[in-house]
Structure 1
Amino acid sequence: MKSSVPFVPLAALHWAHIQAKPAASATRAPTSQINSRPQPGTWTRRATPPSCGLGGAGRLWRCDIEGLSRSSSARARPEATMTWELVLWLLALGALLLLLVQLLRFLRADGDLALLWAEWQGRRPEWELTDMVVWVTGASSGIGEELAYQLSKLGVSLVLSARRVHELERVKRKCLENGNLKGKDILILPLDLTDRSSHEGATKAVLQEFGKIDILVNNGGRSQRSLIMDTNFDVFKELIELNYLGTVSLTKCVLPHMIERKQGKIVIVNSLAGIVSVPLSGGYCASKHALRGFFNCLRSELTKYPGIIISNIYPGPVYSNIVKNALAEEVTKTVVHAGDQLYKMATSRCVRLMLIAMANDLKEVWIAEQPFLLVAYLWQYMPTLAIWITNKLGKKRINNFQSGKDADSSYFKIWKTKHE
C-alpha cells in the first residue's frame, strides 16, 4: 500500500525535530488552529493534522516548507540578477574592444577583407601558379613590369606584350637575372591593343609557343588627367578603344581556348576609378566602368564552366609612370607635371596582393591604402555620402593638378605612406 505522506526534505524535518519540544509537554492545538492556514514563509510549531499522516506535535506543515523555499529564493534572486548584469557588461565591453581593434586594423588595411583573409589563411602563389603559362599585357612598365618580375620567381612561362619592344627586352633581361626562368620560358610578343585585327594572330603565336594559356592578365591601358570640358572628343575615343575595346577583343580571342580546356583565369587590372568616379578622369573612369560591367556579365555567362575564373582587380594609386603617360586635353599631349608619386602604394606590394588574389581565385579585389579604400566602401554601400565627399574633395584635387602637384596628394596629410 502506497504511503500518503507528502514529500518533505529530510534536512527541514531534521531541523524541525531538533527545535520541537518533547512530545510529553506538547498540547494539541484546537481544531480552529489546525484548520487555519499559516502564512507562507513563517515558521510555526503546530500539531500536524491527522490527514498529513505525520502525527505528533512540533512538526512542520508542508506550507511552512514551501514558504521557507520561497523565502530562500527571494534572498538569492538579487545575487543572480547582479551576476547576469555583470556578464552582460563584460560581453558589451568585449564587443566594444573588438570593434576598436577591427577599426584600427581597417585604418591600416591596404586591401578588402576577403583579400587580406586570403593573404593570412589562403593558398600561396608559390603553390598554385607554378608551371602555368601567363600572358601579361602592358608588361613594359608599372604594374605589368613588376608582375613579370614576381612571376619569373614562381617558375611560370611568361608572355610579355606591349608596344615598346625595347622596354620588353629590358624587362626580359631582368627576369632572367633575378628569376628562376631560362630564355625559352619567356616570349616577347609585341602587341597594340587598339589594333584588334592582330589579336587573333597573337593568340595563335602564344599557343604555338607554349601549347596553352592558363592566365591572361589584361593590364594594358592608359590614364587621363584633364577636365571634361577642356578635353577633345578624340581622347575619350582613344581611352575606350585602348582600355575597353582592346581588352575585350583580346579576351574574346583567348576565351575559346579556355572554354575548350574548361579552365583558365582571366585577370582584369581595372582601377578604383572603375568604382569611384573622380574629376580629371572622365574618359578613364568611363572605360574602367565599362570593363567592370562587361566582365561581371561575362562571368555570369560562364557559370557552366566553373574552371574559368574571372577576376576584377581594382588598384588604387600605385607608384608607377601611369600619371606621366596619362593623356591630357589632346591625344598627342601627355601630362606635363606629374607631381610627387613617392607617397603612393609600392608597386611590389600591389603585385603581391594581385598574385594572392589569382592564387585564391578571388572574383573582385580592391587594393588600395587609406583613404581610398574607405572611399571605395562608401561608393559601394553608401553612394549618397560618397558623392557628397567626392564633390567636396574634388575641388582641391583639381586645384592640386592645376598647380603642378599630383592630383591625389591632398589626401595624404593623415595617411602618409612610404615608397619601397
Structure 2
Amino acid sequence: MKTLKNKKIWITGASSGIGKALAVALAREEALLVLSARNSHALKQTQKACVKHTSFCMIQPLNLSDSAQIQQAVQKVTEELGNIDILINNAGISQRSLARETPVDIDRRIMEVNFFGMVQLTKAVLPFMLSQGSGHIVAVSSITGKFGFPLRTAYSASKHAIQGFFESLRAELTDDNIKVTIVSPGRIKTNISLNAITADGSAHKKMDNGQAGGMSPEKCAKRIVRGIKKQRKEMLIGNKEILMVYIHRWLPALYHRLVTKVKN
C-alpha cells in the first residue's frame, strides 16, 4: 500500500497520546478520519489539528465499556462513510496496583475496555470489510502483552488476550484480503501512567520514570503509519525496553531477575 490518501480510517483513543499522534500523522497522509474517545473536548482539539491536512475528520465519541454505544457508533460511522478501510483499535487503560490489593471488579473493568471493547468494535466493523472484500485491522497492544510486569496484572492479561485474539483472527482472514497488524509499543511518552487506575479505581496521577524518558508519540505514530503501509503483521516499537521481549523469550532466568527489580 503506497498511499493512505482517501482511505477511511477509524481511530479509537484519539484524544491524546499515540492515538492523537496517529490521527495527525494520518491526516497528513490525507486519509479520511473518524476519531473516537470518551473525552469529546479533547477529541475536538485533535480534530482541529487534523482538519489542517485532510478534507474529512469526523468525531464519534465512544466509551468502549458500553456495548450499546459501540453498536450505535458503528451504525453512525458506516451511515456517514459507507465502509471503513482501516480500523485502528488504540483505546485502553493501564493499571498501577498489586494483584493482592486489587478487587476483581477493577480487573473486569480493565478487561472490558482493553479486550472486550476492542473485540466488539472489531466484530461490528468486520462484516463491512468482508462485504467490500478488503480491510485492515490494527490492534495496539503493548510489550506487556509479550511478558508479565509488576503492578500491571490485569493490564498485562488484557494485552496477552489481545495478542491471542488478533493472531487467531489474522489466520482466519487470510483468504479474505483483510490484514491484521498487532502493534506492541514499549515506553512511549504519553499520559498513560497518569491515567492508569489503582486498586480503588482512582487515577494513578504519577508519571513513571520510564514513561517520562520514553519515545515520543509522534515518532511512534510515524512507525505505525509506515507499518500499516507495509501491511506488517507485528510491530515492536520503543527503545531499549524492547530488548525485554527477547530476553523473556531466550533468557527467561535473566528476565525473572530483571522484572522483580521494577518499581513502576
TM-score band, normalised by shorter chain? over 0.9
Q: Does 1:151 align with 2:30?
A: no
TM-score by length of 2: 0.95
For the 8 Å contact 2:247–2:255, the answer to whether it is kept is no
Equivalent position SS for 1:310: strand
Q: Does 1:379 align with 2:248?
A: yes
For the 8 Å contact 2:18–2:190, the answer to whether it is kept is yes
For the 8 Å contact 1:278–1:390, the answer to whether it is kept is no
AA of the residue aligned to 2:225: L
Which digits, 9 at most, give the CA deviation of each residue in 1:55-113, with x for residues without a partner?
Answer: xxxxxxxxxxxxxxxxxxxxxxxxxxxxxxxxxxxxxxxxxxxxxxxxxxxxxxxxxxx
For the 8 Å contact 1:266–1:309, the answer to whether it is kept is yes
AA of the residue aligned to 2:39: R
1:329-344 aligned at under 5 Å gives the runs 329-331=199-201, 333-340=202-209, 341-344=211-214
Shift of 1:316: 0.4
> Which residue in 2 is equivalent to 1:308?
178
Q: Does 1:321 align with 2:217?
A: no
Q: Distance in 1 between matches of 2:143 and 2:81?
A: 33
Equivalent position SS for 2:138: strand
1:90-169 aligned at under 5 Å gives the runs 127-169=2-44
> Which residue in 1 is equivalent to 2:66?
195
Q: Distance in 2 between matches of 1:146 and 1:209?
A: 24
Gaps of 5+ in 2: none
Shift of 1:207: 1.5
Equivalent position SS for 2:45: helix
Shift of 1:230: 1.4
For the 8 Å contact 2:248–2:255, the answer to whether it is kept is no
Shift of 1:273: 0.7
Could you tell me the percent identity over the aligned residues? 37
> Which residue in 2 is equivalent to 1:222?
93
Shift of 1:395: 3.5
For the 8 Å contact 2:5–2:29, the answer to whether it is kept is yes
For the 8 Å contact 1:194–1:246, the answer to whether it is kept is yes
> Which residue in 2 is equivalent to 1:54?
none
Q: Distance in 2 between matches of 1:236 and 1:219?
A: 19
> Which residue in 2 is equivalent to 1:12?
none
Shift of 1:222: 0.5
Q: 1:275 to 1:205 in 2, by over 3 A?
A: same
Shift of 1:196: 1.1
1:80-95 aligned at under 5 Å gives the runs none
Q: Distance in 1 between matches of 2:151 and 2:225?
A: 30
1:256-271 aligned at under 5 Å gives the runs 256-271=127-142
Q: Distance in 1 between matches of 2:121 and 2:138?
A: 12
> Which residue in 2 is equivalent to 1:416?
none
Shift of 1:233: 1.4
Q: What's the RMSD between the two structures over aligned residues?
A: 1.4
Moved beyond 3 Å, runs of 4+? 339-342
Shift of 1:368: 1.7
> Which residue in 1 is equivalent to 2:254?
389
Gaps of 5+ in 1: 1-122, 399-406, 408-420
Equivalent position SS for 1:312: strand
Equivalent position SS for 2:84: coil
AA of the residue aligned to 2:226: I
Which digits, 9 at most, give the CA deviation of each residue in 1:160-208, with x for residues without a partner?
Answer: 00111111111111222xx4224xx011001110111222221121122
Equivalent position SS for 2:212: coil
Shift of 1:304: 2.0
1:263-302 aligned at under 5 Å gives the runs 263-302=134-173
Higher RCO (Cα < 8 Å, 6 or more apart): 2
| Higher alpha-carbon deviation: 214-223 or 342-351 | 342-351
> Which residue in 1 is equivalent to 2:108?
237
> Which residue in 2 is equivalent to 1:354?
224
Shift of 1:391: 2.7
Which digits, 9 at most, give the CA deviation of each residue in 1:121-163, with x for residues without a partner?
Answer: xx6xxx3211101000000011001111111111111100011
Shift of 1:338: 2.2
Asked which structure has the greater CA Rg, the reply is 1
Q: Distance in 2 between matches of 1:336 and 1:134?
A: 31
Q: Distance in 1 between matches of 2:224 and 2:113?
A: 22
AA of the residue aligned to 1:252: K
Shift of 1:223: 0.6
For the 8 Å contact 1:234–1:330, the answer to whether it is kept is no
